[in-house]
Amino acid sequence: MRHLVRPALAAAALAAMPLPESAAAADKSDVAKFMETGICPGCDLRRASLNRLNKPGVNLEKAMLRDVDGKEAVLPKANFAGADLRRADFEKADFGGANFSKALLAGADLEKANFAGADLSRADLSEADLEKAEFLDANLSGAVLSGVLAKRSTFAGSDLAGADLSRGRLERSDLTGVRMQKANLQNADLERTVFRDADLSGADFSGARATRAEFQGANLVGARFGDTLLRLADFSRADLTDARGLDQEMLNTACGDAETRLPDGLKVPMCAK
């Protein structure tokens, strides 16, 4: 009987072990409270279904929302400050004007979600799916977006000062007029990305792929360009004064105009009109 007892004891021990935090279910009383009042700071809503929920102005500050299913939820002006939304699915959700300051959104599915006017300052969105998402006039200062998938997304007018977008995929995204002073864009894919009239002073483009990127009118004073691919990038009216790591070989594959300002000793071919 010994060979039968041991597996039974092992099974009992496994059953007694606590579930991993990511696998634990939501607190049912917290879910009920949230659905009734919309005010549930610090609540445990792990793995809850908020699919297509329409509830503006909710307060979920510092709440646990890991692995939540919130596809197409409508939660404008919501307070998610300091909340944990890692691996949550909020595809096509509306978070216009919401507060995600210091929130954890790593690995979240936010494809086609709306964050227009939202506060995501110092939030962690590393490895999140932001493809075709809307961040018009959003505050992403100091945010971590390393490794994000943000193809064809809109960040026009947003604040990304000091943000970390290293290894991010931002192909064909619109960053017109963004504030990205000292942002980290190392090894990012910026093919056909639009940076028109953006403030990129002190930003780091080392190892980035910026083929056909549009830098017209951008402020690139003091930016870093070590081993950056700039083939067919347009620097018309751009200011690259004091740019570091920029060399003639890189510029020979890009273009500019008579208003392009470059470090001493460098020149750029004229863009075809």
- CA angle, residues 56, 154, 74, in degrees to nearest 5: 15
Contact 151, 169 (CB under 8 A): yes
H-helix or E-strand containing 115?
none
Q: List pLDDT tens digits, range 69-90.
A: 999 999 999 999 999 999 999 9
Residue 8 has pLDDT above 90, yes or no: no
CA dihedral 222, 228, 230, 236 (to 10 degrees): 0
Contact 188, 211 (CB under 8 A): no
Residue 201 has pLDDT above 80, yes or no: yes
Per-residue pLDDT, averaged over 45-62, amounts to 97
C-alpha dihedral sign at 259, 261, 267, 270: negative
Contact 213, 192 (CB under 8 A): yes
Per-residue pLDDT, averaged over 138-165, amounts to 98
Give residue for tokens 């919309």. 38
